[in-house]
Structure 1
Amino acid sequence: MTYRKREGNDTWHFCKNCSNWPTSGYKEQNTKPTTGEFCNECQAKQKAGNCS
């Protein structure tokens, strides 16, 4: 899974269909982040089985 967050922000996104998925000025990693928080929209999409 790919995780992205905008530079200067502590919220990680992991659903590419999230309305806030960073497309520029972001940090990306492939391991689950151990700092910061996860986007509420991404978490809701994952729970609903609608995370792509």
Structure 2
Amino acid sequence: MGHLRLGQAAVATAVKNGIMKGYDDNTFRPQGNTTIFGDDLFINLGCCLAQLINH
């Protein structure tokens, strides 16, 4: 399975389990006109992992 499909499957699973939500147009992006940096990525990843552990 390619990286893109693997990523799509992971996001779909997270959405299905209520761990993540996107926008009504089925996209994920930062709020406002911002850029996601490495620390933002790890904070979000940590939150997702915490949800999985506590789910």
Same-fold call, TM > 0.5?
no
Give the number of the structure whose residues are more often strand, by fraction: 1
**TM-score bin (small chain):** under 0.3
TM-score by length of 2: 0.25
Identify, as 1 or 2, the structure richer in helix: 2
Higher relative contact order (CA 8 A, sep 6+): 1
